[in-house]
Amino acid sequence: ARTRVMFRVVGGALGAAGVAAYWRTPRGRQTAARAEELPRRPVFDVAVVGGGLVGLAVAREAAARGASVVLLEREAAVAASASGGNTGLGHTGYDAPEGSLERRLLRRAISLHPGLYRSFGLGLSHVRKCGSMVVAWTPEQLAKLDEVLGENTGAGDTDAYRVNAEELRELEPALSPAALGAVVCPNEAVVEPWLIPIGYAESARLHGADLRLSTEVISA
């Protein structure tokens, strides 16, 4: 086993020859002996700081690819902040800027989602594909609905469609009669915000990742 020791040298670097000479001195031998008495700390290929959705996904992916991984989360549970307290909306990407990384990632996430759920041992019954609507309340907004529909098509969501005021009230009778029309996005969904982070955490653990909760990183 190899022990790393930090040196503080005044007047310049030791250099390879200087390091080798140091270990032969009485002080060097004493330092090495003390280091051998210290408890061994595991060395990981990847250290992930933060047990939110992104951190857990990175930890799981790295572990699944064979890396040794440690994840450090200061709270007593994973997804204890924004990742576990959001609305759980699954977006199709139409409102992300065209050509942006956000839109590309949203579309890729949609394609990966079914396989990811299966790998976690979950069914798609946990996904409520309720859809969403972009409602126009003014003539100016109504004139832009075709543009919104085009954004859906450009993002790869070809199932979106436009409805007029009468059709909108048939779909949503409780909506205010002031609504003038809408674009319906049937593929948008709601998921349980805790479910996917927990799935990532368990999958990461099964792939050998070391998940350390109540562990705060104070410096690097």
At 8-50, the pLDDT tens digits run: 333 344 444 554 565 577 766 666 566 566 566 688 999 999 9
Among residues 90, 97, 94, 168, the alpha carbon closest in space to that of 131 is found at 90
Say how far residue 156 (Cα) sits from the centre of its chain. Answer: 22
CA 32 → CA 23, 26, 120, distances in Å?
Answer: 8, 10, 46
CA distance 162 to 158: 12
- Using the CB atoms, write b or e for 69-96: b if 16+ within 10 Å: bbbbbbbeebbbeebbeeebebbbbbeb
At 86-97, the pLDDT tens digits run: 888 888 888 888
CA distance 195 to 107: 20
At 55-87, the pLDDT tens digits run: 999 999 999 999 999 999 999 989 988 888 888
Say what the pLDDT of residue 3 is: 32
Strand partners, 134: 183
Say what the pLDDT of residue 68 is: 95
Please, are residues 190 and 130 in contact by the beta-carbon 8 Å criterion? yes
The size of the chain, in residues, is 220
3-state secondary structure of 9: coil
Q: Which amino acid is at 156?
A: G
Checking if the pLDDT of 205 tops 90, the result is: yes
CA distance 188 to 194: 18
